[in-house]
Structure 1
Amino acid sequence: MSTDDFYRASESKTSGPGYDKVAYDDGATAAFKAPHDEVYPEERKPAREPHEWHFGADLALFVLRVTLGALILAHGLQKVFGLMGGPGIGGFAEFLGTQGFQQTTLLAWVTGGTELGAGALLILGLFTPAAAAGVLGVMANAIWIKVEPQEFVGAVELEVLYAAAAFALLFAGAGKISLDRNTPWFRRAPAFGFIFLLIAAGLSVVTLVVLR
């Protein structure tokens, strides 16, 4: 037998009907999947909602939001209506004058109105980024004019706590126990938080530079 006849005989044996090429193929078999197949079929992957209920986190955000909102609302009632021993618009405007501000009556209305609106919105969990940014802006100005470097925590620990709570809500969102739960700013809280943080910072700087 010549060399050519030998190779032709070998090919006929390996290509006949009894030869199983599965072990050398890269396609799928009954027992094994091809290397490029997914390890887990799509229908077996666990489904997860993008904003599923988390009882502990959502309850904590609810308590934080309502507490901060109620306290800020009370400050607004003091400034605007003089309730709970507050100064009212006239008294608060006079205080702003002693701190070097101009247009004190207008600024008193803006500050008191911001506290009233932001406090109510935080309690409801509605437009939370705007409400939290409003609180943060008011607290930033309050800290700036009241801070006493020689005192413990600058004697502004209450304002710092308010600001920290507002900052947390600004970036964490209102939680699912709120009216914001189906809004774009609820689904993208960090992005909207950053936008409103810039707005609050800008308005605070304008207030301190232009009106003081």
Structure 2
Amino acid sequence: MSSESDYFRPSEAQSTAAYDSPYDTNDTTVLTRPDTEADRRPDPHRWHVGADLGLLVLRVVLGALVLAHGLQKVFGILEGPGIEGFATVLTAFGFQQATLLAWITGVTELVAGLLLIIGLFTPAAASAVVGILISAIWVRVDVNLFAGGVELETIYLAAAFALLFTGAGHISLDRRSPWFRRAPAFGFIFLILALGLSAVALFVMR
């Protein structure tokens, strides 16, 4: 028969549970936060030799070609038409105020090409090239020709579009800028701007 003191004596299960506490003073294990999916996700802004080198080559080549087109239009060098010659071409395509538009296009190509080469303000430079090329393809495309007769312009456009959303890469002056860290968001903003300016050129000045 159990005595009254047995009611205050801990049972064997209770005694065992008391020593199974997670706060065991003999446990010297350092508690750490478990890994999460975000912890295992690679840093999107770290250096990537292949990608950064590829973006450098793409950016410099496209920038050099765009800069050369600007030199042709503004200064008439490299067998270019100069402002008057390019204005004549724009007039033939139905544009109004062709001389003003020739200056805008030529200077834009000079600035955008230089910025692409050095990797500075890349979203703005790439969007300027996108806007010019959209307008050029719109007025020159011929559905009866292979690739509409604008395959070269289409390649330029694809390259500029890619840089618009990828950014300049780490080998650039943009590498510490907000638009480098958030390239897709800034790319979308500048794409809307490029489309708007192209619409003005095509439907207001033509």
Aligned length: 202
Aligned twin of 1:9: 6
Aligned twin of 1:145: 139
Aligned twin of 2:193: 199
1:92 aligns to 2:86 (yes or no) = yes
The TM-score normalised by the length of structure 1 is 0.86
Paired AA for residue 148 in structure 2: G
1:47 shift after superposition: 11
Distance 1:23 1:160, change over 3 A: farther
1:12 shift after superposition: 0.3
Range 113-122 or range 50-59, more displaced:
50-59
Aligned twin of 1:119: 113
In structure 2, which of residues 26, 34, 38 is the aligned counterpart of residue 39 of structure 1?
34
Q: Any unmatched runs of 5+ in structure 2?
A: none
Range 172-181 or range 48-57, more displaced:
48-57
Distance 1:76 1:108, change over 3 A: same
Identity of aligned residues (%): 57
* SS of residue matched to 2:33: coil
1:103 shift after superposition: 0.4
Aligned twin of 1:20: 16
1:73 aligns to 2:70 (yes or no) = no
* SS of residue matched to 1:102: coil
Distance 1:69 1:22, change over 3 A: farther
Deviations 1:157-180 (A, max 9, x none): 000000000010000000010011
Q: Any unmatched runs of 5+ in structure 1?
A: none
The TM-score normalised by the length of structure 2 is 0.88
1:178 aligns to 2:175 (yes or no) = no
Paired AA for residue 39 in structure 1: P
User: For residues 179 and 38 of structure 1, what CA distance do their matches in structure 2 show?
Assistant: 37
* SS of residue matched to 2:16: coil
Distance 1:24 1:11, change over 3 A: farther
User: For residues 22 and 75 of structure 1, what CA distance do their matches in structure 2 show?
Assistant: 82
1:188 shift after superposition: 0.6
